[in-house]
Amino acid sequence: MARILCVDDDPEIIALKQKILETAGHTVTACVSAEQAMHALDTQTFDAVVTDWRLGDGVGRSVVQSAKAHSSAPVIVVSGYVSEAFQAAEPLADLYLEKPVNPVELIKVMDTLLRKNLPSSEPVAGRAS
C-alpha cells in the first residue's frame, strides 16, 4: 500500500481518482487546490503524486515542482492539457496521462512507478514487489 497525494480542482474527478486508487489498496490524500496540495507536501510524506495540470488556484507545475523538491516520489500528471503540461519547463513529471484516464491504466502505471521507487521489501497495493 502506498500513500498517494491526488490533486484535482473538480470534486467529481478527485472523488473518482480517489476511489480508483483506494480500490487498488492505496491510501489517498485528496486535495482540490494547488494551495491544499502544497500544504500537504509540506506537512506529510507521499509515495506518489497524481495531479491535474490546470487547477482553479494555480497550475500543476507548482505541485510537480514541490513534489520533486520534497522527495523522489513519482509524479503523474492526469490532465486534458497533457501537451501543455508536457512542454512545461523542468522539473517534468514522471508520466503524463490524458483525461479521461482509464482506471486500469492509471493503476498499472502507478504500480509500475511505485515498484521502481519503493524498497523491494515494501509491498505495492498489497502485493509483494
- List pLDDT tens digits, range 35-76: 999 999 999 999 999 999 888 877 788 898 899 998 889 999
The kind and range of the H/E element at 6 are strand 3-7
The kind and range of the H/E element at 54 are strand 54-55
Mean pLDDT of 6-22: 93
| Measured distance CA(128)–CA(6) in Å, rounded | 23
Beta sheet of 3-7, edge-to-edge order: 27-31, 3-7, 48-51, 75-79, 95-98
**CB–CB of 63/55 below 8 Å?**
yes
The kind and range of the H/E element at 70 are helix 60-70
Per-residue pLDDT at 127: 40
Q: What is the mean pLDDT of the chain?
A: 85
Mean pLDDT of 22-45: 95
The number of C-alpha atoms within 13 Å of 77 and in the hemisphere containing its C-beta is 28
Enumerate domains of the chain plus CATH numbers: 3-117 (3.40.50.2300)
The verdict on whether omega for the bond into residue 103 sits within 30 degrees of 0, i.e. cis, is no
Least confident of 15-19, 43-47, 107-111, 119-123: 119-123
pLDDT band at 25 (very low <50, low <70, confident <90, very high): very high
Buried b (16+ CB within 10 A) or exposed e, 72-110: ebbbbbbbebbeebeebeeebbbbbbeeebeeeebbebb
Q: Tell me the one-letter amino acid at 80.
A: G
